[in-house]
């Protein structure tokens, strides 16, 4: 099989695996009927009625707004701090204990503290998501800046390039591939923390929808909400890869890749 044929067959293979998993789910649910484990067909049938409703779509919009706000804030802070710390050895060593401590702190553990600080409103959700996003982006940005060759640094110093111009015109472009790697990791973390924060502190959103349906013992709706989150994460990841391929086309061309 040629490389082009293999690339064309990948989506079909992925769809076949997804359908096979649904088939196994359906078969197992039929073999061992249980109220707690509904059949895939029942979940999909119920989802086809729930997902297009204005109430569910309103929950989706609320979740996406929180996700977008937290992701943009966390990514912006991570890139900005990463550029500063990556270009300054002294500052990086000074702040390394603090950044490593915060990076090692599970983002889920700050939810109670965020509730105390911000209450149960939108600020809590955005803060938790931003925290989860910031550190993967920060670490990858720092490493990307540190990878800039000494020759480039010496040339910039010889030409007396200022720190802001150096960060924008040298460090940022050089670190972009690693920044995008951090952004992709952070996207998954952002979705996870979005749902967790909505479990405990939202009056709407997909996470709140799932917990409400669970409290009403609507198992088909619960599984449908979980399935929707999985599909949402998949779609967001695919959209991210489209953006990444466009922004980093020069990088893939330089390393002999056409993208993922």
Task: Tell me the average pLDDT of the chain.
Answer: 86
46 is written with which tokens? 């119920």
Residue 88 carries which DSSP code?
-
Orientation of helix 172-201 relative to helix 206-215, angle to 10°: 30
Least trusted range by pLDDT, from 109-113, 141-145, 157-161: 157-161
Coarse DSSP helix, strand, coil percentages of the chain, rounded to the nearest 5 percent: 85, 0, 15
Res. 185: pLDDT tops 90: yes
d(CA 70, CA 134): 9
What is the per-residue pLDDT for 102?
Answer: 86
Least trusted range by pLDDT, from 121-130, 147-156, 184-193, 230-239: 147-156
d(CA 32, CA 38): 10
Least trusted range by pLDDT, from 4-13, 72-81, 133-142: 4-13
Q: Which domains does the chain have, with CATH numbers?
A: 59-202 (1.10.3720.10)
* Vertex 63 angle, CA 62 and 67, to 5°: 120
What is the per-residue pLDDT for 171?
Answer: 83
Helix (H, G, I), strand (E, B) or coil at 79: helix
What is the per-residue pLDDT for 8?
Answer: 59
228 is written with which tokens? 């929707």
Q: Confirm if 145 and 82 have CB atoms less than 8 A apart.
A: yes
d(CA 85, CA 16): 46
- The predicted model gives 154-177 an average pLDDT of 79
Helix (H, G, I), strand (E, B) or coil at 195: helix
Digit-coded pLDDT (tens) for 58-84: 999 999 999 999 999 999 999 999 999
Q: In 3D, which of 108, 107, 128 has the Cα closest to residue 118?
A: 128
Helix (H, G, I), strand (E, B) or coil at 66: helix
What is the per-residue pLDDT for 165?
Answer: 78
Digit-coded pLDDT (tens) for 220-251: 999 999 999 999 999 999 999 999 988 888 76
Q: In 3D, which of 106, 61, 74, 18 has the Cα closest to residue 209?
A: 61
- φ/ψ region of 217 (left if φ > 0, alpha if ψ in -120 to 50, else beta) reads left
Q: In 3D, which of 175, 182, 177 has the Cα closest to residue 139?
A: 182
Percent of the chain at pLDDT above 70? 91
- φ/ψ region of 200 (left if φ > 0, alpha if ψ in -120 to 50, else beta) reads alpha
Q: How confident is the model at residue 149 (pLDDT cuts 50, 70, 90)?
A: confident
């Amino acid at each position: 099989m040629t490389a082009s044929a293999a690339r064309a067959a990948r989506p079909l293979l992925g769809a076949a695996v997804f359908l096979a998993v649904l088939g196994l789910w359906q078969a197992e649910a039929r073999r061992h009927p249980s109220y707690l484990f509904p059949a895939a067909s029942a979940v999909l049938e119920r989802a086809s009625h729930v997902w297009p409703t204005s109430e569910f779509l309103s929950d989706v919009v609320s979740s996406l707004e929180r996700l977008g706000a937290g992701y943009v804030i966390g990514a912006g802070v991570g890139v900005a701090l990463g550029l500063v710390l990556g270009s300054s050895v002294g500052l990086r060593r000074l702040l390394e204990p603090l950044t490593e401590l915060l990076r090692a702190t599970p983002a889920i553990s700050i939810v109670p503290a965020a509730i105390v600080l911000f209450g149960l409103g939108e600020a809590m959700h955005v803060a938790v998501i931003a925290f989860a996003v910031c550190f993967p982006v920060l670490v990858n940005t720092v490493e990307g800046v540190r990878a800039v060759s000494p020759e480039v640094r010496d040339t910039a110093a010889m030409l007396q390039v200022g720190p802001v111009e150096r960060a924008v015109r040298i460090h940022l472009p050089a670190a972009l591939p690693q920044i995008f790697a951090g952004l992709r990791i952070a996207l998954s973390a952002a979705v996870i923390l979005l749902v967790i924060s909505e479990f405990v502190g939202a009056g709407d959103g997909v996470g709140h929808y799932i917990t409400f349906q669970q409290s009403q013992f609507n198992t088909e709706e619960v599984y449908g909400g979980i399935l929707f989150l999985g599909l949402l994460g998949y779609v967001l990841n695919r959209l991210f890869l489209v953006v990444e391929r466009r922004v980093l086309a020069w990088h893939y061309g330089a390393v002999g890749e056409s993208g993922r």
